[in-house]
Amino acid sequence: MGEYSIKINQQEFIVNGTTYIIRSARNKDAKDLSEIRLQIDGETENLDREKGEAFIDVQSFEQLIQADTENKKNLFLVAVVHDRIVGFSRCEGNPLKRLSHKVEFGVCVLKEYWGYSIGKNLLKETIAWADSYGIKKITLKCS
């Protein structure tokens, strides 16, 4: 699968001595995303799933990234520390015209990277993107 247009410009953050970047997800991220999503599900009770439930494999993540990249109402971002994905967020729009102003937002961050404003900055980048596409409402959804 090829790469598609980038939805946001890569941003760098330095928080509590840790440097990370937030960028659009790429197809090659699929393996890492599958692994960290499974790990995150086992690290917190804040999500709907227990570890292993609703597992997303590498191929399914590749399809998700491709679909999100092609759909102007969807956004898939990753947070990266030293070439390692440590968190991600997704926004998913609705194909219904009456709900075209609305997206659902979900976010996941590895527990060892809590406290570095990664979730906050994923949300801030998402809001900036949503503003540029005329999105008026973002609702929270467990990723």
pLDDT (0 to 100) of residue 2: 41
Domain hosting 74: range is 11-140
| H/E stretch holding 136 | none
CATH number at residue 44: 3.40.630.30
pLDDT tens digits, residue range 70-121?
A: 998 899 999 999 999 999 999 998 888 888 888 999 999 999 999 999 999 9
The domain tally of the chain equals 1
Q: Is 64 within the bounds of a domain?
A: yes
Counting beta carbons within 10 angstroms of the beta carbon of residue 124, is it exposed (0 to 12), middle (13 to 18) or buried (19 or more)? middle
User: Model-level pTM?
Assistant: 0.85
